[in-house]
Amino acid sequence: MSDMGLIEMFQRIVRHHSFVAVRRDCRRAAGRAAATVALLCLLLAMGGCGTKQKVAIPHPEPVDAPLPAPVDPMADAAGRIRVWHTLMQEKLAASPFEKLESVNRFFNQLQFLDDLSLWGKEDYWATPTEMLVSNGGDCEDFATAKYFTLRRLDIPDEQLRLTYVKSLKLNKPHMVLSYYAKPDSDPLVLDSDKNYIQAATERRDLLPVYSFNAQGLWLNKQRQEVRIGGSEQLSLWQDLQQRWLREAVAGSRPTQ
């Protein structure tokens, strides 16, 4: 076979793109031409410049990587104290009601824990730092922690009172924090049992007994408040204020 004949044969093979045709023409070439022609035909059949068979490359299905679990800033004592300090910084310029609401919701995230199981005492009033480290406390701890935090937020002492009440629903003593916009106004009640704030007149389930702050002590008679002196006669309250001040000196909280 002439060189031109070989060239024409290969062109025809490429145009047909047929593996069968390649094998047939290769057999003919092997019988009539040199071994070189047969080798070229074999290479073409095995995937030379002619049409290549598409090989399916497996692609694994995309798998969504699990998102990292969100970090709870209240998960440990250091985180709770950081969030508390941040709240006091961010809410300093807020309205009085926004301060009340933010502080009430913040502390109400903590657990209710009785003094005996937590401190091994029948009655112990914890500082806000102690409460945050312990991740909980009883009703006095909730009320006093809110009181000290709101004082840090520039709510005047005369507008705040720690109020002992009787829970008519539970038939037991309870403590809440009361906020007086004006001396003779209906106070707002910050309660560890409720995330929302209500006026005292709406809390028919609570019977006020007495209230106090850093300046005085009031006795409730027929829902009328009568001042009966200073709060220095309340030993647990005096002890708590001293420990709160020592914490401030030690630098465990922003100073008031």
Domain ranges of the chain: 3-45, 77-250
CATH class of 77-250: alpha beta
Compute the distance between CA of residue 53 and CA of residue 5 in angstroms, rounded to an integer. 28
pLDDT of residue 223: 72
Provide the pLDDT for residue 93. Answer: 96
Per-residue pLDDT averaged across 114-122, rounded?
94
pLDDT of residue 118: 94
Neighbours of 193 (CB within 10 A): 15
Read off the pTM.
0.72
Band of residue 247 on the pLDDT scale cut at 50, 70, 90: confident
Whether pLDDT at 217 is above 60: yes
Average pLDDT estimate for 85-90: 96
Beta strand 224-229 with 188-190 is: unpaired
Residues 167-191: what's their mean pLDDT? 96
Q: What pLDDT sits at residue 14?
A: 45
Share of the chain above pLDDT 70, in %: 71
Distance CA 246, CA 159 (A): 24
Instruction: Give the mean pLDDT of the chain.
Output: 82
pLDDT of 17 > 50? The answer is no
Listed residue (162, 177, 139, 254) closest to 216, CA to CA: 162
Instruction: Give yes or no for residue 131 having a pLDDT over 80.
Output: yes
Distance CA 16, CA 48 (A): 14
Of the two residues 255 and 204, the one the predictor is more confident about is 204
Where helices occur in the chain by DSSP H, the ranges are: 3-16, 19-32, 35-45, 77-90, 96-107, 115-119, 128-134, 139-152, 235-250
- The three-state secondary structure class of 112 is strand
Strands 111-112, 136-137: pairing is: parallel
Q: What is the pLDDT of residue 229?
A: 95
Higher pLDDT, 55 or 144: 144
- Asked whether the predicted pLDDT for residue 210 surpasses 80, the reply is yes
Which residues, including other chains, have CB under 8 Å from residue 26's CB and lie 6 or more apart?
A: 38, 41, 42, 45
Query: Residue 243: its pLDDT value, please?
Result: 96
